[in-house]
Chain A
Amino acid sequence: MTKLQQKILTFIRSGTGDFAELAMEVFAFQREHNPTYRTFCDRRPPVNSWQEIPAVPTSAFKDFSIACFPVSAAVAEFHTSGTTAETAGKHYFKTLELYETAIKPNFTAHLLPDAARLPVLALTPSPADAPHSSLAHMLGVVAGHDCEFFVERDTLLLERLTQRLCEMQWASQPVMLLGTAFAFVHLFDHLGKTRFELPEGSRAMETGGFKGRSREVTKPELYQLFTHHLGIPAQRIVNEYGMTELSTQFYDATMRLDQQSDCKDIPAWARVLVINPNTGEESATGERGLIRIFDLANLWSAMCIQTEDLGIAHADGTFEVLGRIAGAEVRGCSLNTESLRKQ
């Protein structure tokens, strides 16, 4: 099967290839090597095109081993950040080669289109401290050696981070900050009245995510805080949309366009469909629906993933993420699944 993996690696490295053909090959491979998936597919109509490939719901990663190899042979496993009430989903990796290859060109195109070389301050644990965190691993891959991690034992090291920001400002050294939206809000709360003016060229990547937190901040509010506290303008802040169950990430087109954008680019080896939950068919461009992702780099797990996020597909080939359905309105006095998740 290294042949198929090789084809995908070539596709990712070159940025060109026949997506439809490879997707059908990967589908055939996954159907053959994952009995759970095969049983699932066997109960559904035959697949004639990549768009019809049955999607694995993200929550299936909690209940099943979504893998096309014996998971005892996994070189890494990343876990979802489930609350205590639910078990975490696990994504097993036979090799990290596809994953790591898919990360770099995409990250560079969206965070370093100017080929800048910047020191990285990551508001996450280091990959060594958090071996099951896909985010920490990803940042480890993109940030290279010149990277400091500011979370230790689940604690954001606010003093140390503040001091480092101060040093960077005085040394006129542009810097790249990476972290979850929640970690940044935590930092801004800590900074209070303190404001930095980080040197021009400084930038930030935030991954969204307020799951299970007491306080939520909207994207425009968050970006205002970035500008207010760090002097980073909105056209240098990029939202990353990724998930443990995938190997490929999606970034706002902001730095490519040199203006703040909520539209996410789709790399050549991936596809995004927005599905109308009332019909199971693709939503019209500009209409809301559930985001379904096809990621060739997920060769050893599941290429087609049904997320629990709502989104919109745009005519220019980008898409927008509107948030998780978990926040759906709970009406009145009947308990439903969603109110329980909050408990």
Chain B
Amino acid sequence: MNVVDAIAETAQNWLAPESRWRKRAIAEAPEQTGFSPEMINEAVTLIFSALTHEALSKFIVPADAPRKITHILSGNVPAPGIGSICRGLLLGAENWVKCSSRDPVFPALFVESLREVNTELAERVIVKQWPREDVEQTKTALTGANAVIAYGDDDSIASLRALTPVTTKFFGYGHKISFAIIGEEALADRELPALAAFDASVYDQQGCMSPHAFFVEGDANAFAEKLAIAMEEFQQRVPRGKLSIKEAALSARVREIHEFRGAQIWTGKPPYPWTVIYDAQPTFTPSCLNRTVFIKPMHTLNSMQAWADTISTIGIAPWNAEMQKLASNLAERICPIGQMQRPPFTSN
């Protein structure tokens, strides 16, 4: 059984025109994930275009690969879960997958599509869902594995780690933030606002690779204005999902306090599907997410030192040595703006 071939073929089936897998995801995923159908469509393209033969072949299987892996997925974005299952298969492991109540659709649908290509391989993945409160079920899942891969907020990761036997390998992927830096010469790039809006809007900013802020050298205000136009264009094409009342209230609070402070704010018409805030304060405060981004002057970039341990990705424009050097000490991963939501398959 060639695992690479099977996964790559499955991915092609998702990406094919008129793919019924894509159609099913678009029909079934919006309700629980809260994403718009258009966002799900976008997610399918992002997830499955990363699973190429070439990318999958680069994955190196260590000699001591675990035989049985338990994956605990989070519900904010579907991409890491699919990637995690694929890596488990490439390792030759049996995979138990606990999906989140927010996204029971993607993992199950992926396994179903894999089954069509290679039944035997699909048998190596069991997807289940149970409530977080059912600790006994979680314990059973954790105890049966040689390795545990867990995604989620820091509290969940900590409690899962505590439930996992000490002899089991535990990989926890907890809270992370991302941001981007823009050098003055990139401001002339006409493509840049759309690329930045894409990075900030995809998955409604719920992913740990979604930028909270853009640190801009030069005329930051002018960039903010262009970004606002691009955010609205993206919204027209890929609307933000519906927010819970609490999420909407958190966004309202961020707008209100910055309005009171006299900050420049750009926002879409109610229900305010995106917000760009020019924030010159020297400190960095994470966004309330759901497409709220801060534009900050480059000289406040130092404030990110305080967050060094929690930074996932830094998007960069222009993609040159000087800018890369500025960012490389701070983050696990750096990439050009527009690529923030396209991590290499081998990561995480």
Contact stretch, chosen from A4-12, A195-203, A325-333: A325-333
Docked complex Cα distance between A333 and B154 (Å): 8
Q: Contact check, B246 vs A333: say whether CB atoms are below 8 A apart.
A: no
- Residues 239-267 of chain B, each 1 if its beta carbon lies under 8 Å from chain A, else 0: 00001111111111110110111100000
Contacts A56-B260, A278-B270, A334-B176 known; A289 to B245 CB distance under 8 Å?
yes
Task: State the Cβ distance, B193 to closest chain A Cβ, in Å.
Answer: 22
Q: Is A84 an interface residue when CB atoms closer than 8 A count as contact?
A: no
Q: Tell me the bound Cα distance from A339 to B261 in angstroms.
A: 23
Whether the pair A334, B289 counts as a contact (CB closer than 8 A) is yes
**With A40-B259, A278-B271: A332-B75 Cβ-Cβ less than 8 Å:** yes
B37 CB-CB contact with A under 8 Å: no
Please indicate the chain A residues that have their CB under 8 angstroms from the CB of B245 in the complex: 277, 288-289, 310
> In the complex, A43→B255 CA distance in Å?
14
**CB neighbours of B208 from chain A (8 A):** 332-335
Query: Does B234 belong to the interface (CB within 8 Å)?
Result: no
A337 interface residue per 8 A CB criterion: yes
**Distance of B124 from chain A, by nearest CB (Å):** 25
Counting CB contacts under 8 A, is B174 at the interface? Answer: yes
Q: Chain A residues near B260 (CB, 8 Å)?
A: 36, 40, 56-57, 60, 64
**Which chain B residues lie closer than 8 Å to A332 at the CB level?**
74-77, 100, 151-153, 206-208
B305 CB to nearest A CB, Å: 16
Kindly state whether residue B13 has any CB partner on chain A within 8 Å: no
Contact (Cβ within 8 A) A331 B271 = no
Which interface residue of B177, B243, B249, B257 has the most chain A CB atoms within 10 A? Answer: B249
Given contacts A277-B245, A278-B243, contact A331 B206 (CB under 8 A): yes
A220 to B287, CA, bound (A): 34
Cα distance A306–B287 in the bound complex, in angstroms: 20
Is A258 part of the binding interface, using a Cβ–Cβ cutoff of 8 Å?
Answer: no
Contact check, B252 vs A328: say whether CB atoms are below 8 A apart: no
Within the complex, which residue of B76, B257, B259, B261 is in contact with A334, where a contact is CB–CB below 8 Å? B76
Residue of A nearest to B210 (CB): A334
- Contact A279 B152, beta carbon cutoff 8 Å: no
C-alpha spacing A306/B260, complex, angstroms: 11
For A28-67 the 0/1 string (1 means CB < 8 A from B) is 0000000010011001000000000001110110011000
Let me know if B175 and A310 touch, CB within 8 A: no
Give residues 293-343 of A contacting B (CB, 8 Å): 306, 308, 310, 325, 327-340
Q: A331-B75, A332-B76 are in contact. Are A339 and B154 (CB under 8 A)?
A: yes
List the A side residues contacting B252 at CB < 8 Å. 275, 277, 280, 290
Given A40-B259, A57-B257, A306-B256, the answer on whether A333 and B207 have CB atoms closer than 8 Å is: yes
In the complex, A251 Cα to B207 Cα: how many Å? 42
How many Å lie between the Cα of A150 and that of B248 in the bound state? 40
Q: How far in angstroms is the closest Cβ of chain A from B176? A: 6
Docked CA distance A154–B287 (Å): 34
Contact A329 B246 (CB under 8 A): yes
A55–B253 alpha-carbon span in the complex (Å): 11
Write the nearest CB–CB distance from A226 to chain B, whole angstroms. 28
Once the chains bind, are A328 and B289 in contact (CB under 8 Å)?
A: no
Is B285 positioned at the interface, with any CB of A under 8 Å from its CB?
yes
A310 to B249, CA, bound (A): 8
Q: How far is the CA of A318 from the CA of B259 in the complex (A)?
A: 30
On whether the beta carbons of A330 and B246 are closer than 8 Å, the reply is no
The listed residue (B100, B176, B246, B272) touching A335 by CB distance below 8 A is B176
Q: Within 8 Å CB of A327, what residues of B?
A: 246
With A and B bound together, what is the CA distance between A290 and B256 in angstroms?
12
Given the complex, which residues of B lie within 8 Å of A280, measured CB to CB? 252, 270
Q: Is B115 at the interface (CB under 8 A from chain A)?
A: no
- Complexed CA–CA distance, A329 and B154 (Å): 13
Contacting residues, chain B, for A331 (C-beta < 8 A): 74-76, 102, 153, 206
Q: Is the CB of A329 within 8 A of B152?
A: no
Determine whether B44 belongs to the interface, using a CB cutoff of 8 Å to chain A: no
Q: Do A333 and B250 touch (CB < 8 A)?
A: no
Q: Are B253 and A279 in contact (CB under 8 A)?
A: no
Inter-subunit contact A333/B173 (CB<8 Å): yes
B247 touches A328 (CB 8 A): yes
Instruction: Digitize A261-293: 1 where CB-to-B-CB distance is under 8 Å, 0 elsewhere.
Output: 000000000000001011110000000111000
Min C-beta distance of A329 to chain B, whole Å: 7
Contact of B74 among A288, A310, A333 (CB under 8 A): A333
Q: Please state if B154 and A325 are interface contacts (CB–CB under 8 Å).
A: no
Spell out B's residues near A (CB within 8 Å): 74-77, 80, 100, 102, 151-154, 173-177, 205-208, 210, 243-254, 256-257, 259-262, 270-272, 285-289, 310
Task: Supply 12 further A-B pairs (C-beta < 8 A) apart from A275-B252, A308-B249.
Answer: A57-B260, A278-B271, A290-B249, A325-B246, A325-B253, A333-B152, A335-B177, A335-B310, A337-B286, A339-B153, A339-B154, A340-B286
Name 15 A/B residue pairs within 8 A (Cβ), A-sorted. A36-B260, A59-B257, A60-B261, A278-B270, A290-B252, A308-B253, A331-B75, A333-B76, A334-B289, A335-B176, A335-B177, A336-B286, A336-B288, A338-B288, A339-B154
